[in-house]
């Protein structure tokens, strides 16, 4: 908590909302193909909200999933640019799912940096 002076009174300030662990999407290992799958099939797995209807749960998630997908599209462009310096990924369809996401999970890599791009290229080249 941060203390601020508001209207002449010193007051503790903080966030006006709380995010619970089951209310956010961890995008570290996610990719656009997985998001497209959820949007297409409406299969949201075991995500539980307070509402009882699966359609209401899905409808509530669509906006968040689309924002997540926008972020992931940009991230995948950056990752592809880094990785392309060290390996040819143009031949592999859905490379971000088949290879990169699985590798990131196994190697416990959350962000692709230049160093991680080199590691991934070594992995691809065997």
Please check the confidence at residue 2 and state whether its pLDDT lies above 80: no
pLDDT digits (tens, 9 = 90+) for 27-86: 899 999 989 998 999 887 765 554 444 555 778 788 889 999 999 999 999 999 999 999
pTM of the model: 0.72
Query: Residue 22: in which H helix or E strand, if any?
Result: none
What does the pLDDT read at residue 56?
Answer: 56
What's the average model confidence in pLDDT over 101-111?
A: 93
97 or 81: which leads in pLDDT = 81
46 or 87: which leads in pLDDT = 87
Task: Give the Cβ contact number of residue 117 at 10 Å.
Answer: 19
Distance CA 17, CA 20 (A): 10
Structure tokens at 86: 């060290």
What does the pLDDT read at residue 120?
Answer: 93
What does the pLDDT read at residue 44?
Answer: 75
Distance CA 68, CA 25 (A): 8
What does the pLDDT read at residue 86?
Answer: 92
What does the pLDDT read at residue 50?
Answer: 46
Please check the confidence at residue 106 and state whether its pLDDT lies above 80: yes
pLDDT digits (tens, 9 = 90+) for 110-126: 999 999 999 999 998 87
């Amino acid at each position: 908590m941060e203390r601020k002076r508001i209207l002449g009174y010193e007051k503790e300030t903080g966030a006006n909302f709380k995010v619970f662990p089951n209310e956010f999407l961890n995008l570290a290992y996610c990719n656009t193909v997985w998001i497209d799958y959820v949007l297409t099939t409406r299969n949201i797995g075991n995500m539980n909200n307070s509402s009882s209807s699966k359609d209401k749960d899905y409808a509530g998630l669509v906006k968040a999933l689309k924002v997540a997908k926008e972020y992931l599209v940009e991230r995948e462009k950056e990752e592809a640019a880094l990785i392309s310096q060290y390996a040819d990924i143009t031949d592999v369809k859905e490379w971000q799912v088949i290879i990169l996401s699985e590798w990131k999970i196994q190697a416990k890599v959350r962000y692709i940096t230049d160093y991680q791009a080199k590691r991934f290229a070594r992995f691809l080249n065997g």
